[in-house]
Amino acid sequence: MSIAYLDPGNIESDLQSGAVAGFKLLWILLLATLVGLLLQRLAARLGVVTGLHLAEVCHRQYPKVPRVILWLMVELAIIGSDMQEVIGSAIAINLLSVGRVPLWGGVLITIADTFVFLFLDKYGLRKLEAFFGFLITIMALTFGYEYVTVKPSQSQVLKGMFVPSCSGCRTPQIEQAVGIVGAVIMPHNMYLHSALVKSRQVNRNNKQEVREANKYFFIESCIALFVSFIINVFVVSVFAEAFFGKTNEQVVEVCTNTSSPHAGLFPKDNSTLAVDIYKGGVVLGCYFGPAALYIWAVGILAAGQSSTMTGTYSGQFVMEGFLNLKWSRFARVVLTRSIAIIPTLLVAVFQDVEHLTGMNDFLNVLQSLQLPFALIPILTFTSLRPVMSDFANGLGWRIAGGILVLIICSINMYFVVVYVRDLGHVALYVVAAVVSVAYLGFVFYLGWQCLIALGMSFLDCGHTVSISKGLLTEEATRGYTK
C-alpha cells in the first residue's frame, strides 16, 4: 500500500517541490500524507467490516450505468499510474547505461519486469510483500545516500515540515503545492487497500475482533506511510538544499567543469532551473559526482519496479469487483502494460526525454482528475449504517470527511484548470469544455449520493432510494457480512 506513495510520479513531484519552493512546502507533503492515512483507514475499515472491497461494494450500490463509468475512470487512473512506472523505469535504465540503452529500449525492457513479478506472485502474497519491502529498502538507502551527501539544513527541514507558511510564494510555488496533493493521494490505492485487508482472516461476527483488526490495520498503515513520508522528505530536502534558486547558467557551468556529457541538456540562460526525474539525476551527478547520479537512477528504478504489481493487483480487484469478471493476473497485467506501453513508446521513439517527462506531469493531472471517483465512494459507503453496521462513520467523521473530500477535489480541480489554461488551441479548449461538463456532471451525481448517505435525506427529493436508483435500502443490503 505504501508503494503507491513512492512511485515515479511522486518522486518527480518531490524534486520539483524542492527545486521550486525550497523547504517551504514540506508541511504540505506532511499534511497530504496524513490525509492519505485517514483515507486509507476508511478503505481498510470497509474491507474488514463488510468482507468486500470497494469495487465490490460499488457493484452492489450503484446502478449499472454509473458503475460502468466509475469502472472506466478507475481503470484510466490505473493505466496512467502504470505509464508513470514505465516512464520512470525507462529513464532510470537510460541513466544507468550512460545513454547506451535508448529511452524506447528502456520502455521495452519494462515488459519483462511484469513477468518477473507474476513469477514471484506464485509463491504467495507474503513473499511478494517481502520483495516489495526489499525495493522500498533500496529506495530508502539510495535517496538516504543523496540526503547524507547533500547535507541539507536540519533546522530548515524541521521548519518547513512543522511551520505552515509559504512566504514569498507565487504562482509556481502554489501550483507545486497543489501538485503535491495530486501526486501523493492515489485513487486506485483506496480500491487496493480495501481488498488487501481481506487476505487476513477476521471473524466478522465478533465485533471485538473486528475492532482489533481495524486497529492493527491502522497501525500497519501508519508505519507504511511513515516510511514513505521519510523517503519523500529525503528527495524534497536534497533538491531544496542543492538546487533551490539555481539558474540554468550555473548548472551548465558546473556540468561543463566536471566534463559531464549532459552539459548540453540545459539552456545557457539565467532562467530558474527546472528539473524532472531525468534532469534531477544529471544535476546530482554534476554537483556531487557520478556516484550520486547512478545511485539516484537505482532509486528511480526501484520506485518504478515496486509500483508495477500494485497496479496489477488494483486492476484485477477493480475489474472483478465492478464487472464481476474473473481474469488471471497474467491476462490483466498484459492488458494494462500493453495499453500503457503503446503511447509511452511512441513518445520515446519520436520525441525526446523532455516530452517523456512532460507526459509524467500530464499523468499527475490525470490522477488528480480521478481522485473524486475513489474519495466520494469510500466516504459514502463507510457512512452507510446498512453497510457498516455499528462501524459506520460517526457525525464527526462524516463532517470532517465531507469537508476533506470537498477540499481535495477543489484543490485538484484548480490543478487541472492551471494545466488546461496552457493548452493554447481553440479546438483543445472546446474538447476540454465538453469533457469538463460531463466530468462535473458525474462528480455531482456521486456527490449527491454521498450527501444522502451523510444524512441529508431531504436531497432524496421525497423518493425512496433503491438499488435501481442509487444507494441501497436496508433490505438490499442482505449479503453483507456483519
The pLDDT tens digits along the chain (482 residues) read: 667 778 888 888 899 899 888 999 999 999 999 988 999 999 999 999 999 999 999 998 898 899 999 999 998 888 888 888 888 888 899 889 888 888 888 888 877 776 676 676 677 667 777 777 888 888 899 999 999 999 999 999 999 999 988 887 777 788 788 778 877 888 888 898 898 888 778 888 888 999 999 999 999 999 989 999 999 999 999 999 988 888 888 888 888 888 888 777 888 888 888 888 888 888 899 888 889 999 999 988 888 877 777 777 788 888 888 888 777 667 766 776 677 677 777 777 766 666 677 777 777 777 778 888 999 999 999 998 888 888 988 888 888 888 888 887 787 677 667 767 777 777 888 888 888 888 889 988 998 888 887 777 767 765 434 333 344 444 444 455 54
- Domain with residue 155: its CATH number is 1.20.1740
Buried b or exposed e, range 317-341, using 16+ CB within 10 angstroms: bbbbbbeeeeeebeebbbbbbebbb
Alpha-carbon distance 31 to 15, whole Å? Answer: 17
- For the chain, the domain total comes to 1
Whether 433 maps to a domain, the answer reads no
The SS3 of residue 272 is strand
The residues with which 247 forms a beta bridge, in sequence order, are 272
What letter does residue 204 receive in the DSSP assignment? T
Residue 99 lies in a domain: yes
Domain membership of residue 96 as a residue range: 2-359
**Would residue 151 count as lying in a domain?**
yes
Q: What distance lies between CA 199 and its chain's CA centroid?
A: 23
Q: Which residues pair with 272 in a beta bridge?
A: 247
Closest CA to 78 of 149, 25, 4, 134: 4
pLDDT, position 475: 40
User: What is the three-class DSSP state of 247?
Assistant: strand
What is the per-residue pLDDT for 124?
Answer: 66
**Which residues make beta-bridge pairs with 135?**
none
Distances (CA, A) of 386 to 48, 61, 382: 15, 11, 10
Does residue 455 sit within a domain? no
**Is 275 domain-assigned?**
yes
pTM, entire model: 0.86
pLDDT at 43: 93
- Rounded distance, CA 141 to CA 214, Å? 31
Q: Determine, yes or no, domain membership for 291.
A: yes
Helices (H), 324-352: 329-350
Answer whether residue 311 is part of any domain.
yes
Residue 201 counted as domain residue = yes
